[in-house]
Amino acid sequence: MIALLRGKLIEKNPNQVVLDVGGVGYQVSVPLSTFGALGTLHGEATLLIHTHVREDQLALYGFFTSREKQCFEMLISVSGVGPNLALKILSGMGVEQLAPAIRTGNLVQLVSIPGIGRKIAERIVLELRDKVTALDPAGSARPVTKSELESDVASALVNLGYDARTVEKSVEQAQKSSGARDFETLLRAALQILAGGKMDNTAHAAR
C-alpha cells in the first residue's frame, strides 16, 4: 500500500495532480487546500497518500499535511461518505473550520458545502463529534466554549500557543465585557485580557 509519494510535479489541477516518481507517473486526487500548498509545476512535491482499493479500481488520494489525511480518513468512515465526497468536503472547508463545525453540530455550515445534504451532515456530526478532538494541533486540549464564535476564537488562540484553560476563561470574559459579534473584535478583546493578565476569577467558579 502506498503511504507517501515524493517526486516531480508534472501536472497540477485543482482536484488532481500527477507526480513523476522515478519515471512512473502517479495520478493523485487532492483537496483544494493541498493544491494551494503545492509548489510550482516541475518542482519537487511530497504527498501523504491514502490508497483506496475497490474491486474495479485503485485510487490514490494525496494530502499536504497529516491532519488533512486524518480528517479525510475520518470522513470516509462515515456511512454514505465516499472518498470523492470527502475530498469535496475538505475542498469546501479546511480542517480548521470543519473540526469546530462538527464539534458544535453546526449543520448550517456543513450543508453549505456542495454535495452535503442535511442527512449526511447529521450523520457526520453524530459519528465524528467525539473523534475530531484528535485533529487539534499538537494534541492540545480543546477549550470548551459556549458558541461557535467563541470556539473559533479559542481555537486561534490555542494555535498561537496560549494555554487552553486560560484561553477558555479569557474568551468567556471577553465576550461578556465586549459583547462582540464578530471574530476580529472578540479576538482582540481576548488578547487584551491575556496580555494584561486580568482574569475574572469568578468566571468559572461554578465549574
Q: Where are the domains of the chain?
A: 4-63, 66-135, 140-196
Greatest alpha-carbon pair distance for the chain in Å reads 65
Side-chain half-sphere CA neighbours of 34 within 13 A = 30
Answer yes or no: pTM beyond 0.75. Answer: no
| Mean pLDDT over the full length of the chain | 84
Cell (9 digits) for 142: 480543546
Higher pLDDT, 28 or 196: 28
User: 174 near 180, Cβ under 8 Å?
Assistant: yes
Q: What does CATH list as the number for 66-135?
A: 1.10.150.20
Q: Is 170 helix (H, G, I), strand (E, B) or coil?
A: helix
Looking only at the bridges linking them, the beta strands covering 57-63 and 24-29 are parallel
The per-residue pLDDT for range 45-58, each reduced to its tens digit, is 999 999 998 877 88
Q: What does CATH list as the number for 4-63?
A: 2.40.50.140
**Topology alike, domains 66-135 and 140-196:** no
CATH fold of 140-196, please?
Helicase, Ruva Protein; domain 3 (1.10.8)
Which residues are CB-neighbours of 165 under 8 A, at least 6 positions away?
Answer: 141, 143
